[in-house]
Chains A and B, each alone.
Chain A
Amino acid sequence: MACPDVEPQAQSLDPVFAAAAAPSPVSPGPASPDGPPPDPSPPDARVVLTEADIARALRRIAHEVLERTKSLDTVVVLGIPTRGSSLARRLVAVIEEVEGVSVPVGVLDVTMYRDDLRHQPTRHVEPSQIPATGVEDKTVILVDDVLYSGRTVRAALDALADYGRPRAVQLAVLVDRGHRQLPIRADYVGKNLPTSTAEKVQVRLTEHDGLDVVRITGGLPR
């Protein structure tokens, strides 16, 4: 839910932990029998990250996390719904595969803390799932799909404060598309993607949409 331009979100939260490692269907197919329908690619869409690119980006971010944090004991990874939650689980799965350490992972819903609720249709609320370790004195890594205005992350920082006082908060995103409206930056970026505000960045993940891809649609013809 990083950017207001992302299409209406799928609401399933299937616990697909090994999706980063497991091969996902090549052709777009439904994630589950009663899951969302396969996502047709809009005619003007340009693919900017393929399934392999997404897996590689997550793997690199996992290694960067391992480099930067001296001890994984105090790390907690929290995904921001909808697609950030799945990315968070994938990131933790890669860290576990590389380092053999299981890192607590959870979901932080920020809907109630947004500053743009008045200007949009009512948003769906996901339950937050904070790991039993809590966030007090932890290094919290927030995970989202797209970093755009920075308003989601601001809301996430407020939401986090109501659960405790982390020692540090870091931000990992799959795509940074620029156009920040707040003084916020990401610590880990899958891909920096210069965009125009007229364009839309679509992140599609197997858990929700049946395929892994990042596309740009709209904007001026090039």
Chain B
Amino acid sequence: MTRRHLLSAADLTRADAEEILTTAASMHDIQHREVKKLPTLRGRTVINLFFEDSTRTRTSFELAGKWMSADTINISAKGSSASKGESLRDTVLTVDAMSVDAFIIRHSASGACHQVAGWVDASVINAGDGTHEHPTQALLDAYTMQQRIGSLEGRHIAIVGDLTHSRVFRSNLILLRTLGARLTVVAPPTLLPSGIGAWSARDGFTVSSDLDAVLTGDDVPDAVMMLRVQKERMSGGYFPTAREYAVGYGMTASRYRALSAANPDVAILHPGPMNRGLEISPEAADSPHSVILDQVSAGVAVRMAVLYHLLAADTTEVAV
């Protein structure tokens, strides 16, 4: 892999993605060692620039950088000059002028990371931009599924929930197709992105609004990914009540029992943070089929692998 930035899951070829996942497996072992430190990125500086709240992504990027000996600094919008009205461009140019090596950016505007990549000399990693993409989440989801159900080639994966607002969905759709999986996406009609008909026809995935038919039909999924209902992006009118959403599209206790009976090896994923009782019931979230905590554990390893592939070799001379 010779690229400098990771802005979209579409940046990764199948070989790139598989190389990152293999590296992640090596990095995962380090998490269980007494000495969790590699000298690989000694002397590099990684800036976590978070304009939106985050616990797991920010923490895991910070740990990933620190375990690889990079100097990792967190800048959040609150408490930075951004709250005094500084523009995104001025903020990143200011930090870039301090000769940093990488920006890890989360921003509420779709495309923010892409813009920043054009402004700065450092590498840019997209840690979630608006409703666009979150490629490292897709990588850790793929890693977690591989660990649980094996190769994803030809496997059936269902993604359920708020597709319109989900960057996790977009990145996962791209990456899982790159890795050869078959996809079914499920959402209430109001939360299907506009134009998904043409999109699914072009990219070859299935769209449904009947969750029970997908979970216990003829083609039972090998893994089911429940997406978070994003209350902060719900400016109203997508579904009548939380109760109604849970009944129609949540992984309720009864749905979980039916699914695990239809496929005893199914893996249940959720990118977190969970709204228990809304999109996922505690019975499913805390079940042996749930890999939600494995996803968190994989997050650090996958992000170490991404930092390794983007930063370890000096690619500034062959800048893209």
- The listed residue (A119, A120, A125) touching B23 by CB distance below 8 A is A125
- The listed residue (B22, B37, B309) touching A122 by CB distance below 8 A is B309
Please encode chain B, from 20 to 43, with 1 for each CB lying within 8 Å of some chain A CB and 0 for all others: 001101100100010101111000
Beyond known contacts A112-B40, A122-B309: 17 more, CB 8 A cutoff: A109-B26, A113-B39, A118-B312, A118-B313, A118-B314, A122-B1, A122-B308, A122-B312, A123-B312, A124-B19, A127-B22, A127-B25, A127-B26, A158-B39, A162-B33, A162-B37, A163-B35
Whether B2 is near chain A, meaning CB under 8 Å from some CB there, is: yes
- The listed residue (B22, B33, B40) touching A163 by CB distance below 8 A is B33
State the total of A-B contacts with C-beta under 8 angstroms.
50
Which residues of chain A are within 8 angstroms of B309 by Cβ–Cβ distance? 122
- The listed residue (B23, B40, B305, B314) touching A113 by CB distance below 8 A is B40
Whether B38 lies near A117 (C-beta < 8 A) is: no
Seen from chain B, the residues whose Cβ lies within 8 Å of a Cβ on chain A are: 1-2, 19, 22-23, 25-26, 29, 33, 35, 37-40, 68, 305, 308-309, 312-314
> Taking each of B2, B25, B40, which has the highest tally of chain A beta carbons within 10 Å of its own beta carbon?
B40
Whether A121 is near chain B, meaning CB under 8 Å from some CB there, is: yes
Please encode chain A, from 111 to 135, with 1 for each CB lying within 8 Å of some chain B CB and 0 for all others: 0110001111111111110000000
| B304 closest partner in A (C-beta) | A112
CA distance in complex: A117, B314 (Å): 8
Q: Smallest Cβ distance from A4 to chain B, in angstroms?
A: 13
15 A-B pairs (CB sep. < 8 Å) = A109-B26, A112-B68, A117-B40, A117-B313, A118-B313, A119-B313, A120-B313, A122-B1, A122-B2, A122-B312, A125-B23, A125-B26, A127-B22, A128-B26, A163-B35
* B-contacting residues, A169-209, CB 8 Å: none
The 3 nearest A-B residue pairs measured at CB: A118-B314, A112-B38, A112-B40
The majority secondary structure among interface residues of chain B is loop
| A159 closest partner in B (C-beta) | B38
Which residues of chain B are within 8 angstroms of A122 by Cβ–Cβ distance? 1-2, 308-309, 312-313
Which residues of chain A are within 8 angstroms of B312 by Cβ–Cβ distance? 117-118, 122-123
| B305 closest partner in A (C-beta) | A125
Seen from chain A, the residues whose Cβ lies within 8 Å of a Cβ on chain B are: 109, 112-113, 117-128, 158, 162-163
CA distance in complex: A146, B37 (Å): 28
CA distance in complex: A35, B26 (Å): 22
| B38 closest partner in A (C-beta) | A112
Whether A162 lies near B35 (C-beta < 8 A) is: yes
With A113-B39, A163-B33 as known contacts, state yes or no: A125 contacts B22, CB within 8 Å.
yes
Whether B314 lies near A119 (C-beta < 8 A) is: yes
Which residues of chain A are within 8 angstroms of B25 by Cβ–Cβ distance? 127
Q: Smallest Cβ distance from A28 to chain B, in angstroms?
A: 26
Which residues of chain A are within 8 angstroms of B33 by Cβ–Cβ distance? 162-163
- The listed residue (A118, A126, A162) touching B26 by CB distance below 8 A is A126
Which residues of chain B are within 8 angstroms of A109 by Cβ–Cβ distance? 26
| A155 closest partner in B (C-beta) | B39
Whether A113 lies near B2 (C-beta < 8 A) is: no
Whether B39 lies near A128 (C-beta < 8 A) is: no
